[in-house]
Amino acid sequence: GCLLLCLLPSVLRAQSNGEARPRYTPCQQSPTRVSCRGAGLHRFPKELGEGIKYLELSNNFIQNLSSSYMPGFGQLEYLDLCFNQLEAVSDATLAQLPQLRSLLLGSNHLDRNYRANGQAFRLLRNIEVLDLSANNLESHMAGWYISSLTGLRTLDLSGNRMTRLPAGIFRSSSQLRLLDLSNNYIMEIEEGVFEALEELEVLNLALNSLHCISGFSLTQLRVLNLSHNALELFSSEEGAKPYLLQALDLSCNRLLYFPELPKAHYLTHLNLSNNLIASLLPRSHQPGEFVLPYKEMARFNSTLQSMAALTRVADLDLSNNRLQLFPFAFFHSLGSLQSLSLARNCLQDVAGKSPAGSTEPHDRLPSPPELAALSVRSLDLHDNALHVLPRWFFDALPQLERIDLGSNSLQPCEGQGSDWGSCVPALGGTCTPFYNVSRLKHLSLHNNNITRLHPYTFNQTSLLSLDLSGNEGLFVSKEALAGLEFSLQKLSLRGNQMDESKAELPCLHTLKVLDLSGNNLSLLPAGLFCSPLESLDVRNNNLLTLEKPALASWSHSLKDVSIAGNPFSCCSLSWLDT
């Protein structure tokens, strides 16, 4: 319902009649919902009326819930007291809230008086959602607070001072479905600590100090976040029961290899970014190659056996690791893979598949028909050390729609005119062919030290967006973008230090967004005048004026233009009228 100010119209009538003014409550109220968020309250408001079910008191200065009589709150189901100064909760107060199902107490001082407070919590018989985050709670304090809450479904203990999870801490909370333990100092998880939580679906252990997860057995989990720990090992328990896990985040750890997930048949999202993974090849997983003091290392199967179970993974993030090779064979079993990131690695080469599963030199790489295709639609390879991608690389990615190759050292090959069929660069070539990649729509080649775009570089590749920024001294001949005249919608040539002699653009009939900032242009490329531009960025160039014919042609399409940082002549600003 529409929220109404608690200041009732009767206040005005009382003032006009000289009657005593009723106390003003800076809250917003509807028949069953009241919000006093940030109202400067120092005590629990008791004069709000009957039948309230939702009460928000966050961002105030309330220090305790006193035992005084509180009429009208018997129907209260939701109470938010986050960001107060709460340190004491009386059993007499909670006894008056028999219908309470959600209690939010985050960012208070419940580490004080925790024994008395925890005893009062025993009266919360119907509580289902409890937020105790950021209360400086140690492990035993948190355990005491929840020791008798048998109906809990959601529990937030994030941002506390917990260092370990003792075996019986969740024994009474068998109905938990969502548990947030992130941003603590947890170093130890005792065996069997989650055994009672047979309905748990979401577990967040991010931002802790865990070093090892061995024998992971929570088969019913759907979402598990273990990011920002110190994990060097993650292995699941061997058993017949499949895991229901759909999303696993192991980013920002110290993993040296791909995790062991033989039963994760339902996994769709896997984040392994920001680890120390140096190879995905099975031969790199011999125990002798690691210095980790774990007995479990000796019984690991090869990574490829683990990958065979991951048939539903659609999103895989391996960015910011130490990979030097892109092995296609490793990803062949991921038949559902849509998005793959290998950005910020040390990739220098790509490897096809050989009978032994090893890499081969360029002159013996398998031809495209022998190479099983990947289903990837989005591929991020930016910030690596790639010098060339062979023709079969794109042939093995027939569904590819978006690729980021920025911050590498790739030089595009020269294509041929529209009458050309299929031309494959000679083996051992030093350029990468970007022509005739039929489904590719978005390509980024920023910061590749490209000095020249040859004619027909992207012919028969119907790009929608092209990023060529950060290639200082780039020369774009008029035919370089031939083939993109009726597809390209977004083009970036930012920061290339180009003058007008190096930017010979053709007529791009569908171009809507153009970034020419950070160049040395004194004139705009004439080929742009036929483009239906909506956004134009020409900041930091050498423009004295903007040609009237260009502005006139864009008068019905241009929505925003950025022109700062140009030496415009004060005597020739009539183009602004256009």
What is the rounded distance in angstroms from the CA atom of residue 257 to the CA atom of residue 275?
9
> Could you tell me which residues come within 8 angstroms of residue 34 by beta carbon, excluding any fewer than 6 positions away?
6, 27, 28, 48, 52, 54, 55, 56
Give 5-19 as a 3 state SS string: ECCCCHHHHHHHCCC
Q: With 70 as the cut, is the pLDDT of residue 181 above it? A: yes
Beta-carbon count within 10 A of 254 CB: 15
Q: Express as a percent the part of the chain with pLDDT over 90.
A: 65
Mean pLDDT of 275-304: 51
User: Residue 474 — φ and ψ, nearest 5°?
Assistant: -60, 135
Q: With 50 as the cut, is the pLDDT of residue 200 above it? A: yes
- Which pLDDT does position 399 carry in this prediction? 96
306-342 pLDDT, tens per residue?
A: 666 788 999 999 999 999 988 888 888 888 999 999 9
Amino acid identity for residue 91 in this structure = D
Over the chain, what is the mean pLDDT? 86
Residues 72 and 50: beta-carbon distance below 8 Å:
yes
Residues 258 and 280: beta-carbon distance below 8 Å:
yes
Q: Kindly list the distances between the CA atom of residue 325 and the CA atoms of 5, 224, 278, 310, 341, in Å, as whole numbers in the listed order.
A: 64, 29, 9, 21, 13
Q: With 70 as the cut, is the pLDDT of residue 369 above it? A: no
Q: Express as a percent the part of the chain with pLDDT over 70.
A: 85
114-146 pLDDT, tens per residue?
A: 999 999 999 999 999 999 999 999 999 999 999
Mean pLDDT of 349-355: 60
Give 206-225 as a 3 state SS string: CCCCCCEEEEECCCCCCEEE
> Counting beta carbons within 10 angstroms of the beta carbon of residue 481, is it exposed (0 to 12), middle (13 to 18) or buried (19 or more)?
buried
- Which pLDDT does position 421 carry in this prediction? 41
Beta strands in 301-409 (DSSP E): 315-317, 325-327, 339-341, 349-351, 378-380, 402-404
- Which pLDDT does position 47 carry in this prediction? 79
Give 83-132 as a 3 state SS string: CCCCCEECHHHHCCCCCCCEEECCCCCCCCCHHHHHHHHHHCCCCCEEEC
- Residue bearing the bigger pLDDT, 368 or 542: 542
> What is the rounded radius of gyration, in angstroms, for the C-alpha atoms of the chain?
32
5-20 pLDDT, tens per residue?
A: 333 333 333 344 444 4
Residues 563 and 516: beta-carbon distance below 8 Å:
no
Taking alpha carbons only, the member of 222, 118, 209, 226 closest to residue 172 is 118
- For 215: left if phi > 0, alpha if psi spans -120 to 50, otherwise beta; the answer is left
Give the single-character DSSP code of 432. Answer: B
Taking domain 411-415+432-577, whether its CATH number is 3.80.10.10 is answered by: yes
pLDDT band at 562 (very low <50, low <70, confident <90, very high): very high
Residues 329 and 351: beta-carbon distance below 8 Å:
yes
- pTM of the complete model beyond 0.75: yes
Q: How many CA atoms lie within 13 A of 277 on its CB side?
A: 34
What is the rounded distance in angstroms from the CA atom of residue 184 to the CA atom of residue 139?
10
pLDDT band at 24 (very low <50, low <70, confident <90, very high): low
- For 129: left if phi > 0, alpha if psi spans -120 to 50, otherwise beta; the answer is beta
